[in-house]
Amino acid sequence: MDVTLAEISRPGRVDTGEGISTEELALAARNHGIPLEALRYDVTPPGLHYLLIHYDIPLLDPLTWRLHVGGRVGTDLTLGLAELKELPRRTVRVTMECAGNGRARLDPRPVSQPWLVEAVGTAEWTGVPLREVLAAAGADQDAAEVVFTGADHGVERGVEQDYQRSLPLEEAMREEVLLAYEMNGLPLAPQHGFPLRLVVPGWYGMAHVKWLRNIEVVTEPFTGFQQSVAYRLRQEPHEPGEPVTRIVPRALLVPPGFPDFMSRTRVVRPGTVTLEGRAWSGRVPVERVDVSVDGGATWAPAVLAEPDGHPWAWRRFTFEWSPGPGRYELSARATTADGEGQPESQAWNRGGFANNAVQRIPVVCLEAE
């Protein structure tokens, strides 16, 4: 009996009461977020950095792997890893966040990787600026976009595909956009895109194509699945929607005290508690962070660390809190230099993308011992 792709790959849907499915549990077992206590690190250790793998991790031999650069260019290029490492190199510290971060907090819940708020991490990526390679190839003056193809292959909503995304040419030519071969000073781990990945500071993670094998310069907008079907902000299945691009502002607190194993409710004792966290945005720099300890009824400013020369990375903030016995709900919210902030609840969209509603942390303060 013939079987079609449509029979094994369902369309996008929202939860109508089924709860978390075994399919979503399988996704959650393959992918992982950052443990929130790891927000204390300026640079996230690779094993703690969030991870999303769309299909399978391809097995690539660095000795035979090649990057092909073509399309509307003056000279087609085929580059090995050693040749790329001979080109000018740069290191950029980048906070990367999954576009679906916060999806599982929406109601009704879009059925996909069930992220809460932990799909984020900050790494130092080293590689060759993409503009160096595009300049060597000689992109045509009528070029509009650059298409990036990874080696991961699979099926999504009935469409068999390689993972592909594009960037407008002007975005691709930014000096901080990298073809990265190192993460935190070490060769890329297999799950993070070995031997080469794209890093696009300020953009959500879907733009940072892993296991990169092909770059094509094109004159028309790219209409592949991951560009024109997935990663769109839409209310209804068949509307075109707006593309997901740059990261909206977010602040996350390190949960204070110690947790209950199952509920993750935090426990503290009376006295001074230093709250800390990280704030970031991919559009305009964060200028202010406020903290609430009463479920959003009142807010007070946190102390935001001075800029440290890493404009694409998160910034630390602290807040001194003196709780007495009782129950509390902690939140933090970031505001950018142009006034964009975080909502207390997020407008719903079918993909569950860019949900930067404020974090909520239940805390119980017990009587002093």
Return phi, psi of residue 33, to 5°.
-100, 175
Give this prediction's pTM. Answer: 0.95
Residue with token string 């916060």: 102
What would the DSSP string read from start to end of 23-83?
A: HHHHHHHH-B---GGGGG-SS--TTTS-B--SS------TTT--EEEEESBSS-EEE-HHH
Residue with token string 């935001």: 304
Residue 368 has pLDDT above 80, yes or no: no
Cα separation, 275 vs 292, in Å, equals 11
**pLDDT one-digit tens code per residue, 248-286:** 999 999 999 999 999 999 999 999 999 999 999 999 999
Cβ atoms of 209 and 216 closer than 8 Å: no
Q: Find the radius of gyration of the CA atoms of the chain.
A: 22
The per-residue pLDDT for 141 is: 81
**pLDDT one-digit tens code per residue, 110-159:** 999 999 999 999 999 999 999 999 999 998 888 999 999 999 999 998 88
Cβ atoms of 229 and 267 closer than 8 Å: no
* Residue 218 in tokens: 């094109």
Instruction: Report the mean per-residue pLDDT for the chain.
Output: 94
Strand-pair category, 361-365 with 266-268:
parallel
Amino acid, res. 307: P
**pLDDT one-digit tens code per residue, 27-36:** 999 999 999 9
